[in-house]
Structure 1
Amino acid sequence: EIAERDAPANPVQLLRSGKRAEDIFPLGQPVPGGLWMGSRPHLPDSLPVIGASLSRPGLWYNFGHGDSGFGLGPLSGRLLADLITERDPGLDILPLSPLRFLA
């Protein structure tokens, strides 16, 4: 569910999707402990940070993917590898720079 950080937990979407998954594929008994819900952190501009640290030579950043980390992981890993090895990443990575927050 996409909701405000301090909104009360609403498990309706999770319960419905669990029921649909069970209809398609029997999942067996639920894991003990109940449902866990929490907010996902997002950067102010909703873009990940990919690039070199200004203050620590050799330190590279690749974080802040929010809800899309699993899907963007391979691409951001490739971008980071290109940056580290000084290859052309094939796109403008300036909007992802950690330096964008210094202004």
Structure 2
Amino acid sequence: YAPCVGIIGAVLGLIHVMENLADPSALGGGIAVAFVATVYGVGLANLFFLPLANKIKFKLKEEAGSRNVIIMGLVGLAQGENPRLLQEKLESVLPHSERTKETKK
């Protein structure tokens, strides 16, 4: 949304410029507003909002993976699978950093 804010600011600045076409000394303020709003919008989007969105997406994927492992475990237990074999099966799905100490050996 930040680029949209920049574009809206640019449009408002250009509207201000158009209102003052008869007075050339007043054009600079409107043009400055347009450029500053654009820079702030693009800057916030690229330096703050996009990295934040990528981090949130990464965390959501991690949580979805954890939920899938939990569901696999519950289904396995409900079907009467051997708990040891089920543990090995589930840990094979997990990243190496999340496995228990016993299976890291």
* TM-score (norm: length of structure 1): 0.23
Tell me which protein shows more helix as a share of its residues: 2
What is the TM-score with the length of structure 2 in the denominator? 0.23
Q: Which has the larger Rg? A: 2
The structure with the greater share of residues assigned to strand is: 1
